[in-house]
Structure 1
Amino acid sequence: MLEPACQADVVIVGAGVAGLSAAHRLNSAGVSTVVLEAAPHVGGRMTTEKIDGFRLDRVGRLLCTSYPELRLTAGLDGLALRPFAPGVLVHAEGRVHRAGEPASAGGARGALDAARAFVSPPRRTRQIPAATVQPVSRAFPPLGSALDQARLAAALGRIATVPVERLLARPERPAGRALAARGMPARTVEGFLRPLLAALLCDPDLTTSSRCADLALRAFAIGRLCVPEGGADALPELLAGALPPGTVRTGVRVTSVSTTSVATAEHGELRCRAVLVATGARDAAELLPGLRVPPFRPVTVVHHTADEPPMTDAALLLDADRRGPVAHTAVISQVDPSRAPVGRALISSTVLGAPPADTDRTVRAHLAALYGTATHRWELLAVHHTRDAVPVMLPPYDLRRPVRLLAGLYVCGDHRDTGTVQGALHSGHRAATALLTDLHTATTPTPATTPTAA
């Protein structure tokens, strides 16, 4: 319960990863902060449903171990990341292939290994190998010819070593057109890059800004795809738990904001020196009239369980053939055993868009083709559909949309940055920096002037 007379330097509306990230920076700077969340839990879209010992992510966003904010955000020191197997598996032309994995030094694809050496993994996050995963099978042939593999490795190696500033200075166009303009063979684009970007940015049509796509490919080239151990909600819960007791207050619905106060539905007004709105874009626009709401890509995640895993690889399986609704899938219990009870396999699959008609039957049939096994005995655990899952990032796209609306009023979230977990965390970082600058300016005394003799 909030006391009407309660005061704080800053009130943050929304306890997603952006707002919690900002709260840590403000708290570290000695700024008293209160985070108000309308839902009964923290995390926003990064939530995990618990059913009979299974941990089922609602949106299923992928992380990369190379995301800078994972090591820069206070409170994430104890975050455990479960990496996928290097590279990915791609279902193309009716077969499963390996692609994008590092090769031994000196091989045709050694450029990728060399590129990885330039970037250290996040210092503050623990990358835990899944002890239950069997050695990587060599039954899956590499994707494309030896020349295709060498070209792909060279392209990933180049993008891994290009500074971010140079990537952002490149001409901006839709990702598909940019890849073609760089001479990337169509079979490489269709067989690997399109399904990979569909998994990273939820954009199978490659209409995303080439700058956003380049950042996603760079993160993939220098790091490993991964998920938080125990579910997506482990990340926001870790952030919330590391804040001082009483900072985060759930079940509090904010109805209006100003530069010096927020009004709540049940607990009156809370006065402050500044307000940061860290909700989703639609809720933010209701509190901040005139704020632009970008279009969003809907995502549906379907979770199944089986007695035996359909494959032993802890790998992400992409669909390049596009003959069914599933864009990518994984035996997620092979990557993170804590997400399923002992003796059960958890298969999590992502559909880009609304759920298809007869979702379970349609998805199950597609998974049978992707994994090459019968799926009729699998049990459906849950279907999670999120309408506003990922912001659409069409060119021209401002990757650093303003977070300062005016002195005392700020906004953050993945809709102000890139539509990734890295973007959400970074937007919170930017908003906290802008807010601290304004608070410091407001509290700095104006130098006294000495009267001039007449």
Structure 2
Amino acid sequence: MLEPAYQVDVVVVGAGVAGLSAAHRLTSAGVTTAVLEAAPWVGGRMSTEKVDGFRLDRIGQLLFTSYPQLGHSPGLDALVLRPFAPGVLLHSEGRHHRAGGPAGAGGARSAFHAVRAFASAPRPPASLPKARARVRALRPVPPVVAAYGMPGAAVTELGRFDGGLPCFDAGPQPAPSGPADRVQPFGIGTPLRLRAALARIATTPVDRLLARPEQPAGQALAARGLPARTVDGFLRPLLAALLCDPDLTTSSRCADLALRAFASGRLCLPEGGAEVLPELLAASLPPGTVHTGVRVTSVATNAVTTAEHGVIRCRAVLVATGARSAAELLPGLRVPGFHAVTVVHHTTGEAPATGGYLLLDSERGGPVAHTAVVSGIDPSRAPAGRALVSSTVLGPPPADVDTAVRRHLARLYGVPTARWETLAVHHTAEAVPAMRPPHDLRRPVRLLAGLYVCGDHRDTSTLQGALRSAHRAASAILTDLGAHRPLHTADPTPTTPRKAVA
């Protein structure tokens, strides 16, 4: 018997979030799709290890509630995001400083307390009336609602200044208490200037950000008009954490997008671990769409060859793997540099008091770039009675990474860590594709008619970038196929090896 001309409309190679999201858009348009994944599980780098009731992310990349694709991607309606406390917690000179969060509950009242705290320091008398005038401009904003799969009360933006102002917070936000905590680490007048700078970037259209001159982010910071202490003590450690780039070699345009996401949303974690996102996407696809344990060895515009099932014929192929694997299947595709990430997970019976914040080290006095009591953000990640502390090391890790991390955490949290139990140390050498200038945020996803590619290496090296590239690739495929209705009833993807037909 003759084989059919093709067995499926589109084959997607790779079951990471980009490939699964593209498959959703294709199947929703009536295009029969098969997703082939070499690993025994879906998710790629967004994976979670289970150890004794703990859920341990292998990379732990930070997400934002302000990522538009999280609310617009089919299959993620059931996603629950657990937010950090607004802003971040900075460790400097043995103390904790709260920075970058929105104004406190009550809008203008809490912001007035913040300005009053700043005004209590010596400063020119003329600045206080200006600060009060800015306080009068405060207005509350609606809470973040179920667009991200959360109850409206789960994440609430407590107030914004001039339509989206993150600011240094001296209002009644949850945070560590005690004589070591303070709110004014960056010099007289700096908070208002930083608030204004973040407010501007939060409300600047993306197209205008992308039109700015491009240079390495570290160099661009010096030209932003903020004091050096603010840049080095707040913006550098923040951007290093958001971009997974300790040297800030990332394109200044990508850094601006990261700051915009920070200024207009909340840092968050997916409830249950990073693997929940790809698992939700896979579970909501039509049965039989996703096939794990299938290794693709070559691709063409009308077929893929697999090690397990021979040739699978199709009308289009979408390569949705990581950058290096994609280049192996698509010779000539550029492979970017990568940022290495090491995540160290500890558990302890008594959680350090950080008030639900992401903790950064302003002084860079050790290997840890950022750390958090993750079980305080998402209780499902640790068994009852235990705290999960997850810490991220950027770049090449030290020789004895666990000892170095413990020593650094003892300073950051101000508690002994010698008795903490190490649950896992996950090192990923190619965790995040680098975005050094010049960086094209819209790299082509259509290589040839019938051959496409997507992933975080085609846009920005974030979840938002992966999902956005999937959207672009799926749109290109649908346009080329003219798919506005079901094309045919496909034969099922083979589950046993096929013999070649002469």
* TM-score of the two chains, using structure 1 as the length reference: 0.92
Question: Which aligned pairs between 1:40-189 and structure 2 lie closer than 5 A?
Answer: 40-103=40-103, 104-105=107-108, 107=112, 108=115, 117=141, 123-126=147-150, 129=154, 135-139=174-178, 140-142=181-183, 143-189=185-231
Cα distance change on mapping 1:117 and 1:167 into 2, 3 Å: farther
Partner of 1:375: 417
Measure how far apart 1:102 and its partner are.
1.5
State the alpha-carbon separation in 2 of the partners of residues 122 and 178 from structure 1. 36
Output the amino acid matched with 2:189: L
Determine what percentage of the aligned residue pairs are the same residue.
Answer: 71
Change (3 A) 1:146 1:76: farther
Determine which of 211, 219, 240 is the counterpart of 1:198. 240
1:176: how far off? Answer: 2.1
- Partner of 2:222, secondary structure, is helix
Classify the secondary structure of the residue corresponding to 1:156: helix
Hey, what's the Cα distance between the residues in 1 that align with 2:148 and 2:409?
A: 36
Contact 1:54 1:339 in 2 (8 A): yes
- Give 1:93 deviation, angstroms: 2.5
Select which of 358, 364, 372 maps to 1:330. 372
Output the CA distance in 2 between the equivalents of 1:24 and 1:353: 35
Q: Secondary structure at the match of 1:126?
A: coil
Letter in 2 for 1:318: L
Residue 89 of structure 2 aligns to a residue whose secondary structure is: strand
Q: Partners in 2 of 1:327 and 1:409 — Cα distance?
A: 39
Quick check: 1:431 aligned with 2:467?
A: no
User: Shift in Å at residue 177 of structure 1?
Assistant: 2.0
Could you say what the CA RMSD is over the residues aligned between the two structures, in angstroms?
Answer: 2.3
Correspondence for 1:452: none
Equivalent-residue separation in structure 1 for 2:372 and 2:7 (angstroms)? 47
Pair 1:116–1:365, CA change in 2 (3 A): farther
Change (3 A) 1:114 1:276: farther
Distance 2:433 2:354 in 1: 33
Contact 2:345 2:425 in 1 (8 A): yes
CA distance in 1, matches of 2:291, 2:322: 17
Q: 1:206 and 1:228 mapped to 2: Cα distance?
A: 26
Aligned residues: 437
Q: 2:434 aligned with 1:392, yes or no?
A: yes
C-alpha change, 1:160 and 1:378, in structure 2 (3 Å) is: same
Amino acid at match of 1:260: N
Structure 2 gaps of 5+ residues are 116-130, 156-172, 486-502
Q: CA deviation at 1:90?
A: 0.6
2:375 touches 2:381 (CA, 8 Å); kept in 1? yes
Return closer, same or farther for 1:84/1:215 CA change in 2, 3 Å cut-off: same
CA-CA distance at 1:323 after TM superposition: 1.3
SS of 2:101's partner is coil
- Map of 1:245 onto structure 2: 287
How many Å separate the matches in 2 of 1:125 and 1:257? 37
TM-score in terms of structure 2 length: 0.83
Change (3 A) 1:398 1:72: same
Q: Find the residue that maps to 1:414 and give its secondary structure.
A: coil
Deviation (angstroms), 1:28: 1.0
Task: List structure 1 segments (4+ residues) > 3 angstroms apart after TM superposition.
Answer: 3-6, 106-111, 113-122, 127-130, 134-139
- Can you give the 5+ residue segments of structure 1 that lack an aligned partner in the other structure? 444-454
Residue equivalent to 2:27 = 27
Aligned pair partner of 1:403 in 440, 445, 449: 445
**Structure-2 residue corresponding to 1:266:** 308
Cα distance in 1 for residues equivalent to 2:252 and 2:371: 25
Partner AA of 1:91 in structure 2: H
